[in-house]
Amino acid sequence: LLLPPYHLSLSHNKYTMESKPTVTQLLSKPKEEVIKMLGGIYEHSPWIAEKFYVDCLEGDSDNKKDSTISNVRELYLAMSLVVDEASTEIKLDLLRSHPDLCAKIEQLKTLTKESQEEQTKAGLGSMTDEEKTSFTNMNNVYKAKFGFPFILAARNATKFTVLSAIEGRVSLSREAEFQGALVQVGKIAWMRLLAALDTKDRNGFLTCHVLDTANGCPGT
């Protein structure tokens, strides 16, 4: 994953490239600041940041799930656990909180800042009319079959990757695609954390440079 040369704003915070906090610095801040910073990591789902804070940072040490989070990977895993432990219905709501991946450029203003930047960087607005028609047709089939929008960690994915991915995934079973979509949500969260924090100490990477053609999605 190659980070952009500028800071991705999350939840309208005022951090710049020079002042982005480390994980340790962020988690030492008041609850409101932590939730404000992490509230946009998962699309339209600040409840994940709120529950993470309650589970991992509030209360006495005996009741905390983990009071030793010190790097971005540990933070990501702790936030992911909140999603993993959620009910199927809540996970479905999380998936449905995401916009259609290839929203037209004129619709970008209706998306969150995070999604605007991710979709613009993926070059999705440069689709030809023929490509848009092809994607729209497959996207309609996808949504009718699965009941949630097509989700792809698009920051480093080209429009060709997007088109190949939806073509491969629309034929999957609902159960397989439900889990696959949640994986993509996790990748998006990981990339947003990397963009929002000083991650000199980060451990491990998730990337969407390589297309897994068998499953129609970027490989890890």
Indicate which residues carry an active-site annotation. 98
- Phi, psi dihedrals of residue 160, rounded to the nearest 5°: -70, -35
Q: Which residues, 6+ apart, have CB-to-CB distance to 47 below 8 Å?
A: none
Task: Quote the CA–CA distance of 64 and 45 in Å, as a whole number.
Answer: 22
Q: CA–CA distance from 95 to each of 83, 106, 128, 152 (Å)?
A: 11, 23, 27, 11
Q: Cβ distance 189 to 153 under 8 Å?
A: no
Q: Cβ distance 156 to 207 under 8 Å?
A: yes
Q: Cβ distance 64 to 53 under 8 Å?
A: no
Q: Which residues, 6+ apart, have CB-to-CB distance to 157 below 8 Å?
A: 122, 165, 208, 218
Task: Quote the CA–CA distance of 156 and 24 in Å, as a whole number.
Answer: 28
